[in-house]
């Protein structure tokens, strides 16, 4: 007997849907010109994506799990950050459009190949949520156009690379949760200390994550 798609939904899939919903809401707020609410919902999408991963690893993720998670990630960590970048009013340039096109290709390639190439203990290539959040943080601190373009191209390479990145454990997850809430609450107050703190933590993950996985 053929099953209904609704009956195939697992608990982890619900968090994937919430992830996608938050990404969609972020886009809607950015289209209305509310930058900080747009950023807030991408950060909330990150938390939902993290819960999705935890539940999927502990329990049965269902038949829809990986496909739904990838679709949610493309909304929340490619489309939403791209809209935020383009509508921030600071990066309207053909260079950024080209870099975003490369980033789109890398995102689609990574997410479509993830079910085939996934590993149990680590990620092959930089996870798209990490790159998406870093891009938004770079917009918050108002980096130069060329810095953002280079970041887009660099993350595109890292996402489809064979560089191994650790999966987020309980300690790293707690630190990420605290820093994300800090950004949501404090925004860019006190010389953008909250976004800079989260950006610093994520850059440590990008630079030293592979070494941590190998030696610890």
| 92-140 per-position pLDDT tens digit | 899 999 999 999 999 999 998 887 777 878 899 999 999 999 999 999 9
Residue 172: pLDDT band with limits 50, 70, 90: confident
| Residue 207 pLDDT exceeds 50 | yes
Domain of 51, in residue numbers: 6-215
User: The domain spanning residue 28 has which CATH number?
Assistant: 1.20.120
Asked if the structure places residue 1 within a domain, the reply is no
Asked if the structure places residue 92 within a domain, the reply is yes
Confidence (pTM) = 0.90
How many CB atoms within 10 Å of residue 141? 13
User: What distance in Å separates the CA atoms of residue 111 and residue 30, rounded to the nearest whole number?
Assistant: 24
- Tell me the two tokens of residue 168: 């987020």
How many CB atoms within 10 Å of residue 27? 22
Higher-pLDDT residue of 51, 189: 189
Average pLDDT over residues 22-44: 97
Structural domain count of the chain: 1
Higher-pLDDT residue of 49, 106: 106
């Amino acid at each position: 007997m053929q099953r209904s798609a609704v009956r195939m939904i697992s608990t982890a899939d619900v968090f994937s849907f919430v992830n996608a919903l938050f990404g969609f809401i972020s886009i809607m707020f950015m289209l209305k010109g509310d930058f900080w609410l747009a950023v807030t919902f991408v950060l909330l999408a990150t938390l939902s994506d993290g819960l999705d991963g935890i539940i999927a690893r502990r329990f049965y993720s269902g038949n829809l799990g990986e496909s739904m998670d990838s679709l949610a990630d493309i909304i929340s960590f490619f489309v939403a950050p791209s809209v935020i970048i383009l509508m921030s009013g600071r990066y309207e340039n053909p260079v950024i459009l080209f870099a975003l096109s490369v980033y789109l290709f890398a995102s689609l390639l990574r997410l479509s190949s993830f079910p085939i190439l996934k590993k149990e203990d680590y990620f092959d290539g930089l996870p798209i949520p990490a790159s998406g959040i870093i891009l938004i943080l770079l917009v918050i601190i108002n980096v130069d156009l060329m810095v953002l373009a280079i970041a887009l191209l660099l993350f595109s390479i890292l996402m489809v690379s064979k560089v191994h990145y650790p999966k987020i454990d309980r300690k790293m997850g707690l630190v990420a949760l605290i820093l994300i809430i800090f950004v949501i609450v404090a925004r860019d107050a006190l010389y953008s200390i909250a976004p800079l703190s989260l950006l610093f933590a994520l850059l440590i993950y990008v630079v030293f994550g592979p070494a941590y996985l190998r030696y610890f």
